[in-house]
């Protein structure tokens, strides 16, 4: 008896087994996606890389920046505490 292409390709693997493998792959991809999102949310630039300095620059300062979080003296994009009088190259004027 001649086997069809489908029978040759699937061998002894059942459709149920194939579904389990596919479902597992989708689950792994979903978990990897979530982990990636969390990593991006916490991924702040180091002060050195952002050229952070503890003093204002041309009238610009963290206190006037849209990224500054006054309640915690932190920044949305630069790691660690920052001063309201500090400045970095990622400065973004408040709207």
Q: Cβ 83 to ligand SF4, closest distance in Å? A: 8
Smallest distance, Å, CB 62 to ligand SF4? 3
Report the interface residues with ligand SF4, using CB under 6 A.
Answer: 50, 52, 62, 65, 67-68, 75, 77-78, 82, 86-88, 90-91
According to DSSP, residue 29 is labeled: H
CA distances to 25, 52, 88, 89 from 48, in Å = 40, 6, 9, 10
Considering the complex, state which of residue 35 and residue 49 has its C-beta at the smaller distance from ligand SF4.
49
Alpha helices in 14-83 (DSSP H): 15-42
């Amino acid at each position: 008896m001649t086997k069809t292409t489908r029978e040759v390709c699937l061998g002894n693997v059942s459709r149920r087994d194939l579904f389990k493998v596919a479902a597992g792959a989708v689950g792994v991809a979903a978990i990897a996606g979530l982990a990636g999102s969390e990593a991006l949310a916490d991924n702040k630039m180091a002060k050195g890389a952002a050229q952070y300095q503890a003093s204002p620059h041309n009238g610009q300062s963290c206190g006037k920046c849209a990224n500054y979080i006054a309640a915690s003296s932190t920044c949305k994009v630069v790691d660690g505490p920052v001063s309201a009088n500090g400045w970095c190259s990622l400065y973004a004027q408040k709207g």
